Homo-oligomer: A and B are copies of this chain.
């Protein structure tokens, strides 16, 4: 697929999933990339934390790739940059705060000199070949949330990025209804937009409301209060700074990712009103009712500050009976059990846990139904392309768009090449996409041999058999058997003895190496099945002397 005299939209990640956003726009033979995010592994990828998009499609066409434009600084939009940007020799573009976060990542990876990172001023433009892109500021849960208005010879696309409406935002100025209506007045071909909260019948709510909710929860408490939130939610950090002042508490910030956000924020002129922070080693000296701790770990991450505080193994921060932990965050689906584990550890110590179920201590950064309706009313695109959602979110988003009068909607899945113009919008091809995992130091396919083997081992266990034979095929010594994760426990020696006996019998008849190995494998596996009802992976290696 090479874009001709047409405008193509092609997501390589983030369509059919929430996370790992990578979007391509193609026109007149050239491509631009919008965002380059990562996502987190689920239990089907054991031993792995980070999942990255497979960019082979655009790697094969990188001479036609003009640049990578980042909408905002969340991991699902910039997180893959340090791992994958080295494969491309193209410039990056980001607004100052986002660029600050990217620069930190490049420095940590030791590649900051190898990458051209361009800082674009707020509401600035990026012109790349046939693409004229303008940053359009929208509220989100991180400073400098941006939509992109992408002008091409075939029409204009409004790529929303992640967004919400906030009537009293606490950080940065965002486009007004009038400004967005003016964008709509320019005539928008397609809106490519955030589907995350399409099932939320309510608007996402204002950050100012969270400040009031937190004030109400914290005022008058006698003990320490710890608030946990996403580090990247700098708007929430600002709110917590104000809450500390409102409630007469000093603030202490725990967790490396929070330190990083604070540093980058301040370096570009955000969070300048944030109160001076108490050093960790002095926090426990502050009177209990005068301390507000802000900490990472809202998703139950085992190594995050809050998990260690909950289990009492944090060296500097201690909580006890009478203290309070406030979850100023949502539960990301899949994290319920690990979050629950931390909350149980806190509850066991008599620490009160307050979540958004008990009080108004969180608002989302993504648009609910009324906000989506408002945006479509302002932008009035001819086509709706839902992205940033699982299939059910995108399908519901498409329905919503049609309901509010958008003439066309096309739901992509990663790899769908959608021709937006000319003609009726349609999927014209499916391009190869995939997921990579970072396993140790190695990047490899999520559905490759390693992960497959790992999954089979974890479900069934493994038996490794070793048979030595002489040139005539006669056994040298008894076969050796290792069993790993086969449910035999206390009877392991008896089980191994049975396996050795079966392997000896199977190997008694001389055969070629492959046939010998297979005969032994079948015999040993039968023993395992009879003993346990399971079918462990069984691999036999023959040493011929």
Contacts and interface: CB of A to CB of B under 8 A. Distances in A.
B466 A533 contact: no
Nearest to A392: B347
A46 interface: yes
Interface residues of A, number: 70
Contacts of A111: none
Given A344-B391, A448-B489, A457-B454, A484 B466 contact: no
B458 A47 contact: yes
Contacts of A391: 344-345, 347-348
A459 B340 contact: no
Contacts of A484: 453, 457, 462, 464, 537, 539
Contacts of A413: 348
B46 A458 contact: yes
A444 B394 CA distance: 44
A441 B347 contact: no
A357 B199 contact: yes
Interface in A503-545: 531-534, 537, 539, 541, 543-545
Contacts of A462: 457, 462, 484
Interface stretch (A118-126, A254-262, A268-276, A474-482): A474-482
Contacts of A501: none
A215 interface: no
A213 interface: no
A340 B450 contact: no
Contacts of A485: 47, 450-451, 453-454, 457
A152 interface: no
Interface stretch (A56-64, A237-245, A330-338): A330-338
A199 B358 contact: yes
Contact of A47 (B336, B353, B441, B460): B460
Interface in A345-398: 345-348, 350, 353, 357-358, 390-392, 394-396
A476 B468 contact: yes
A111 to B, nearest CB: 18
Residue with the greatest number of chain B CB neighbours at <10 A, chosen from A350, A392, A461, A468: A392
Given A334-B337, A458-B455, A442 B482 contact: no
A440 to B, nearest CB: 3
Contacts of A43: 43
A516 to B, nearest CB: 14
A16 interface: yes
Contacts of A450: 461, 485-489
B337 A42 contact: yes
A209 interface: no
Contacts of A457: 454, 457-458, 461-462, 484-485
A112 interface: no
A541 B392 contact: no
B442 A533 contact: yes
Contacts of A199: 357-358
Given A439-B534, A440-B534, A543-B466, A461 B396 contact: no
A367 to B, nearest CB: 16
Residue with the greatest number of chain B CB neighbours at <10 A, chosen from A451, A460, A484: A484
B545 A444 contact: no
A505 to B, nearest CB: 18
A445 interface: yes
Residue with the greatest number of chain B CB neighbours at <10 A, chosen from A343, A449, A453, A457: A457
A449 B346 CA distance: 29
A46 B462 CA distance: 13
A442 B487 contact: yes
A343 B441 contact: no
Contacts of A337: 42, 333-334
Contacts of A47: 458-461, 485, 534
Contact of A477 (B345, B395, B537, B543): B543
A352 to B, nearest CB: 9
Contacts of A545: 468, 476-477
Contacts of A455: 458
B541 A482 contact: yes
A440 B532 contact: yes
A6 to B, nearest CB: 26
A395 B347 contact: yes
Interface of A: 16, 42-43, 46-47, 199, 333-334, 336-337, 340, 343-348, 350, 353, 357-358, 390-392, 394-396, 413, 439-442, 444-445, 448-451, 453-455, 457-462, 464, 466, 468, 476-477, 480, 482, 484-489, 531-534, 537, 539, 541, 543-545
Given A46-B459, A343-B392, A464-B484, 6 more contacts: A199-B358, A348-B391, A441-B534, A450-B461, A476-B476, A476-B543
5 contacts: A439-B487, A442-B532, A454-B461, A462-B462, A466-B480
The 8 closest A-B pairs by CB, nearest first: A441-B533, A458-B458, A440-B533, A464-B464, A43-B43, A440-B534, A46-B458, A347-B392
